[in-house]
Protein backbone atom coordinates (compact mmCIF):
# COMPACT_ATOMS: atom_id res chain seq x y z
CA UNK A 1 0.00 0.00 0.00
CA UNK A 2 1.21 3.48 -0.81
CA UNK A 3 0.83 6.66 1.21
CA UNK A 4 1.48 8.89 -1.80
CA UNK A 5 -1.20 11.21 -3.18
CA UNK A 6 -1.28 12.93 -6.57
CA UNK A 7 -2.75 16.43 -7.06
CA UNK A 8 -3.57 18.00 -10.42
CA UNK A 9 -5.38 21.12 -11.58
CA UNK A 10 -6.39 23.68 -8.97
CA UNK A 11 -5.55 21.30 -6.10
CA UNK A 12 -1.87 21.94 -6.81
CA UNK A 13 0.24 24.24 -4.64
CA UNK A 14 -0.43 27.92 -5.17
CA UNK A 15 -4.16 27.85 -5.89
CA UNK A 16 -5.09 28.05 -2.19
CA UNK A 17 -8.18 25.85 -2.38
CA UNK A 18 -9.98 25.51 0.92
CA UNK A 19 -10.09 21.69 0.79
CA UNK A 20 -6.37 21.48 0.15
CA UNK A 21 -5.47 23.96 2.91
CA UNK A 22 -7.20 21.81 5.56
CA UNK A 23 -4.78 18.91 4.99
CA UNK A 24 -1.65 20.90 4.13
CA UNK A 25 0.00 20.18 7.49
CA UNK A 26 -0.24 16.42 6.85
CA UNK A 27 1.51 16.52 3.47
CA UNK A 28 5.18 16.34 2.57
CA UNK A 29 6.02 17.34 -1.04
CA UNK A 30 7.84 14.69 -3.10
CA UNK A 31 8.07 16.58 -6.40
CA UNK A 32 6.45 16.78 -9.80
CA UNK A 33 4.72 13.76 -11.28
CA UNK A 34 2.32 12.49 -13.89
CA UNK A 35 -0.30 9.80 -14.35
CA UNK A 36 -1.52 7.98 -17.45
CA UNK A 37 -4.87 9.70 -17.82
CA UNK A 38 -6.98 12.10 -19.87
CA UNK A 39 -8.94 15.11 -18.61
CA UNK A 40 -12.66 15.56 -19.21
CA UNK A 41 -14.52 18.80 -18.59
CA UNK A 42 -17.24 18.24 -15.96
CA UNK A 43 -18.02 21.94 -15.64
CA UNK A 44 -16.77 22.92 -12.19
CA UNK A 45 -13.65 20.76 -12.36
CA UNK A 46 -11.70 18.50 -14.75
CA UNK A 47 -12.00 14.75 -14.17
CA UNK A 48 -9.00 12.49 -14.83
CA UNK A 49 -9.80 9.03 -16.22
CA UNK A 50 -7.26 6.30 -17.06
CA UNK A 51 -5.79 6.56 -20.55
CA UNK A 52 -2.78 4.83 -22.08
CA UNK A 53 -2.01 7.49 -24.69
CA UNK A 54 -1.98 10.74 -22.66
CA UNK A 55 -0.51 12.17 -19.46
CA UNK A 56 -1.82 14.43 -16.72
CA UNK A 57 0.89 16.39 -14.90
CA UNK A 58 0.75 17.48 -11.29
CA UNK A 59 2.37 17.14 -7.87
CA UNK A 60 3.15 14.14 -5.67
CA UNK A 61 2.92 14.43 -1.89
CA UNK A 62 3.41 11.95 0.93
CA UNK A 63 0.72 11.61 3.57
CA UNK A 64 2.38 12.11 6.97
CA UNK A 65 -0.60 11.15 9.08
CA UNK A 66 -3.66 9.23 7.89
CA UNK A 67 -5.47 9.61 11.22
CA UNK A 68 -8.63 11.31 12.43
CA UNK A 69 -10.53 10.07 9.36
CA UNK A 70 -14.30 10.24 9.69
CA UNK A 71 -15.17 8.29 6.55
CA UNK A 72 -13.31 6.73 3.62
CA UNK A 73 -14.78 5.32 0.42
CA UNK A 74 -13.59 4.50 -3.08
CA UNK A 75 -15.15 3.84 -6.49
CA UNK A 76 -13.53 1.92 -9.34
CA UNK A 77 -14.50 2.85 -12.90
CA UNK A 78 -14.53 0.70 -16.04
CA UNK A 79 -14.94 1.47 -19.72
CA UNK A 80 -15.87 -1.91 -21.25
CA UNK A 81 -19.67 -2.30 -21.22
CA UNK A 82 -21.03 -4.66 -23.91
CA UNK A 83 -24.53 -3.63 -24.96
CA UNK A 84 -27.69 -5.36 -26.10
CA UNK A 85 -29.11 -2.89 -28.60
CA UNK A 86 -32.43 -4.72 -28.63
CA UNK A 87 -33.36 -2.33 -25.80
CA UNK A 88 -33.11 0.67 -28.13
CA UNK A 89 -36.37 2.02 -29.56
CA UNK A 90 -36.25 3.51 -33.06
CA UNK A 91 -38.81 5.81 -34.66
CA UNK A 92 -40.38 4.99 -38.02
CA UNK A 93 -41.52 1.79 -39.69
CA UNK A 94 -40.57 -1.70 -38.57
CA UNK A 95 -38.32 -2.13 -41.58
CA UNK A 96 -36.62 1.21 -40.94
CA UNK A 97 -36.12 0.33 -37.28
CA UNK A 98 -34.50 -2.96 -38.29
CA UNK A 99 -32.09 -1.13 -40.58
CA UNK A 100 -31.16 1.34 -37.85
CA UNK A 101 -30.59 -1.52 -35.39
CA UNK A 102 -28.33 -3.29 -37.89
CA UNK A 103 -26.36 -0.07 -38.41
CA UNK A 104 -25.97 0.33 -34.64
CA UNK A 105 -24.86 -3.28 -34.20
CA UNK A 106 -22.06 -2.74 -36.74
CA UNK A 107 -20.96 0.61 -35.28
CA UNK A 108 -17.42 0.61 -33.79
CA UNK A 109 -17.38 0.05 -30.02
CA UNK A 110 -16.07 3.55 -29.22
CA UNK A 111 -18.75 5.23 -31.37
CA UNK A 112 -21.55 3.18 -29.79
CA UNK A 113 -20.41 3.80 -26.20
CA UNK A 114 -19.32 0.25 -25.44
CA UNK A 115 -15.74 1.48 -25.00
CA UNK A 116 -14.42 4.86 -23.89
CA UNK A 117 -17.38 5.69 -21.61
CA UNK A 118 -16.02 5.40 -18.07
CA UNK A 119 -18.78 4.52 -15.63
CA UNK A 120 -18.82 3.44 -11.93
CA UNK A 121 -18.26 -0.31 -11.53
CA UNK A 122 -17.30 -1.17 -7.93
CA UNK A 123 -17.91 0.69 -4.65
CA UNK A 124 -15.81 0.23 -1.52
CA UNK A 125 -15.98 1.53 2.04
CA UNK A 126 -13.40 1.47 4.84
CA UNK A 127 -14.56 -0.47 7.93
CA UNK A 128 -12.58 -0.51 11.19
CA UNK A 129 -13.09 0.17 14.91
CA UNK A 130 -13.60 3.86 15.59
CA UNK A 131 -11.84 5.87 18.29
CA UNK A 132 -13.79 6.37 21.49
CA UNK A 133 -12.57 8.22 24.55
CA UNK A 134 -13.59 7.74 28.16
CA UNK A 135 -15.57 9.75 28.96
CA UNK A 136 -17.08 10.09 25.49
CA UNK A 137 -16.20 13.27 23.60
CA UNK A 138 -18.72 13.77 20.80
CA UNK A 139 -16.52 16.44 19.18
CA UNK A 140 -13.54 14.13 18.67
CA UNK A 141 -14.74 10.52 18.88
CA UNK A 142 -15.84 8.31 16.00
CA UNK A 143 -12.77 8.62 13.72
CA UNK A 144 -10.31 6.10 12.25
CA UNK A 145 -6.56 6.07 12.83
CA UNK A 146 -3.93 4.55 10.55
CA UNK A 147 -6.15 4.24 7.49
CA UNK A 148 -4.52 2.18 4.73
CA UNK A 149 -5.06 4.04 1.46
CA UNK A 150 -6.91 2.23 -1.31
CA UNK A 151 -4.52 0.76 -3.88
CA UNK A 152 -6.00 1.67 -7.26
CA UNK A 153 -3.34 -0.15 -9.25
CA UNK A 154 -3.82 -3.60 -7.75
CA UNK A 155 -6.55 -6.20 -8.14
CA UNK A 156 -5.45 -7.48 -4.72
CA UNK A 157 -6.61 -4.33 -2.93
CA UNK A 158 -8.90 -6.24 -0.55
CA UNK A 159 -6.16 -8.78 0.24
CA UNK A 160 -3.55 -6.12 0.97
CA UNK A 161 -5.93 -3.95 3.02
CA UNK A 162 -8.76 -6.14 4.40
CA UNK A 163 -10.45 -3.16 6.05
CA UNK A 164 -11.63 -2.05 2.59
CA UNK A 165 -14.96 -3.79 1.92
CA UNK A 166 -16.71 -4.16 -1.42
CA UNK A 167 -20.26 -2.84 -0.99
CA UNK A 168 -21.65 -3.23 -4.50
CA UNK A 169 -20.90 -3.71 -8.18
CA UNK A 170 -22.64 -2.48 -11.32
CA UNK A 171 -22.82 -5.36 -13.80
CA UNK A 172 -24.89 -3.89 -16.63
CA UNK A 173 -25.75 -0.51 -18.18
CA UNK A 174 -28.34 0.01 -20.89
CA UNK A 175 -27.47 1.83 -24.15
CA UNK A 176 -28.74 5.08 -22.61
CA UNK A 177 -26.19 4.97 -19.78
CA UNK A 178 -28.57 3.94 -16.97
CA UNK A 179 -27.74 1.20 -14.49
CA UNK A 180 -29.95 -1.81 -15.23
CA UNK A 181 -28.25 -4.50 -13.13
CA UNK A 182 -26.18 -4.37 -9.96
CA UNK A 183 -24.95 -6.86 -7.36
CA UNK A 184 -24.78 -6.07 -3.64
CA UNK A 185 -22.35 -7.28 -0.98
CA UNK A 186 -24.45 -10.45 -0.43
CA UNK A 187 -24.24 -11.38 -4.11
CA UNK A 188 -27.91 -10.59 -4.74
CA UNK A 189 -28.76 -8.96 -8.06
CA UNK A 190 -31.14 -6.05 -8.61
CA UNK A 191 -32.47 -5.27 -12.09
CA UNK A 192 -34.13 -1.99 -13.09
CA UNK A 193 -36.53 -1.09 -15.89
CA UNK A 194 -36.67 2.40 -17.38
CA UNK A 195 -39.61 4.11 -19.08
CA UNK A 196 -40.67 7.57 -20.26
CA UNK A 197 -38.22 7.44 -23.17
CA UNK A 198 -35.75 5.53 -20.97
CA UNK A 199 -35.32 8.52 -18.65
CA UNK A 200 -36.96 7.27 -15.40
CA UNK A 201 -36.65 4.08 -13.38
CA UNK A 202 -40.19 2.79 -12.80
CA UNK A 203 -39.55 -0.80 -11.66
CA UNK A 204 -36.87 -2.80 -9.83
CA UNK A 205 -36.62 -6.53 -9.22
CA UNK A 206 -34.35 -8.13 -6.63
CA UNK A 207 -32.37 -11.34 -7.25
CA UNK A 208 -32.73 -11.71 -11.02
CA UNK A 209 -29.82 -12.66 -13.24
CA UNK A 210 -29.85 -11.44 -16.82
CA UNK A 211 -27.20 -13.77 -18.17
CA UNK A 212 -28.32 -17.10 -16.67
CA UNK A 213 -32.06 -16.47 -16.62
CA UNK A 214 -32.42 -17.38 -12.94
CB 37 within 8 A of CB 48: yes
Say what the pLDDT of residue 202 is.
Answer: 78
Say what the pLDDT of residue 155 is.
Answer: 67
**Residue 59 vs residues 8, 12, 103, 195: alpha-carbon distances, Å:** 7, 6, 45, 45
Give the rounded percent of residues in the chain with a pLDDT score beyond 70. 85
35: number of Cβ within 10 Å = 16
Say what the pLDDT of residue 46 is.
Answer: 84
CA 162 to chain centre: 19
Dihedral of alpha carbons 180, 181, 185, 186, sign? positive
Say what the pLDDT of residue 170 is.
Answer: 92
CA nearest neighbour of 164 among 147, 187, 143 = 147
Question: Residues 122-129: what's their mean pLDDT?
Answer: 91
Confidence of residue 59 (pLDDT cuts 50, 70, 90): very high
User: 89-107: per-residue pLDDT in tens?
Assistant: 677 788 877 787 777 777 7
User: 162-208: per-residue pLDDT in tens?
Assistant: 788 889 999 888 777 788 889 988 888 888 887 776 667 778 877 74
DSSP labels for 28-82?
EEEEEEEEEEEEEE-SSSEEEEEEEEEEEEEEEEEES---SBS--EEEEEE----
Amino acid sequence: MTNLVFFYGTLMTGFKRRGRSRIEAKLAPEGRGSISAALFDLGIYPAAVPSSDSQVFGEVHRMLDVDSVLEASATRYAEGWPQSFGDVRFAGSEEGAAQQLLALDTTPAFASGQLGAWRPKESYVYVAPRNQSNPINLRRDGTFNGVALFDWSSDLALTCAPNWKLTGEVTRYNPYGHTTERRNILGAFTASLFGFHFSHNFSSLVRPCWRTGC
